[in-house]
Structure 1
């Protein structure tokens, strides 16, 4: 049975929402750019090179993804449903990932990212969930379509 790795990454620190006409337009702050680059370094050091990426359509998630500086040509799917949530809909997106993908990176927002991580590994995150640029890594045996809430995750690692 194939081991799959799901990397959940909350976007880096974004600009104040009061400064933008719509929330989806908010860019990263200078700290956000630095933190996203550090998250990318952590992923590379951990040997977590994704085969595919699912990313929210928001400016801040796109910028977070750019700052990760992933190696090679990694296919990216920008999906508005990650921006709007909820975690059940995002889990459904993951279940439809191509069978050839062993490591999937999902770049999104709270509360969806933290809720999804908690669905997969209950009580593994601290009370506040993932901080900005926080990463939760879930490993399980099986296919993406078999991924269920509460129970299939064999291993969970969190950063931030």
Structure 2
């Protein structure tokens, strides 16, 4: 008698949302650089993504210095600076996601709070990882990373169209 194994389907599209690592101060908010601790955290973000085979096909990054430095330290694909990511609203991030070409399988957005945490809450269908959800609900600290498995093409992403599969603050141990 043959038995069929149940397997979980691997999502065809994923969205990784990263809040920039810890930044210092500057006269102009957009010019705030990473602190030494923030730079170490950014490197840990890159290692965490690599360990989980979460290398993005495209990385959309706020043009603010701290987000650019976070992605540079994390490594990976060349960033695309996108001014809407700096708007720091969930609506702006949602419009950015909906513009992504369908040949992209894994999209990373490196941005700011509150927009990243609000977008996670908006997209989450409530069926994902409970521990990840609790982590996101406790403030989404600098250097936090959320992974969402999408149920739809990027162009159709909206409320409840993703499953939160992971949340971590790499390098916080």
The verdict on a shared fold, with TM-score over 0.5 as the criterion, is: yes
Moved more, 124-133 or 106-115: 124-133
What is the count of residue pairs matched by the alignment? 153
- Maintained 8 Å contact 1:43/1:49: yes
For the aligned residue pairs, the C-alpha RMSD in angstroms reads 1.8
Q: Which residue of 2 aligns with 1:86?
A: 89
Moved more, 100-109 or 81-90: 81-90
- Maintained 8 Å contact 1:95/1:147: yes
Change (3 A) 1:122 1:143: closer
Question: Structure 1, unaligned stretches of length 5 or more?
Answer: none
Deviations 1:50-106 (A, max 9, x none): 000110000000000000121xxx353211211122111111110010110000000
TM-score, normalised relative to structure 1: 0.89
- Maintained 8 Å contact 1:121/1:156: no
1:28 to 14, 23, 34: 34
Structure 1 Cα separation of the partners of residues 125 and 139 of structure 2: 11
Structure 2 Cα separation of the partners of residues 118 and 65 of structure 1: 23
Question: Structure 2, unaligned stretches of length 5 or more?
Answer: 1-10, 127-132
TM-score, normalised relative to structure 2: 0.83
2:103 maps to 1:100: yes
Q: Which residue of 1 aligns with 2:64?
A: 58
Q: Which residue of 1 aligns with 2:6?
A: none
- More RCO (CA 8 Å, sep 6+): 1
2:16 maps to 1:7: yes
- Maintained 8 Å contact 1:120/1:148: yes
Q: Which residue of 1 aligns with 2:166?
A: 157
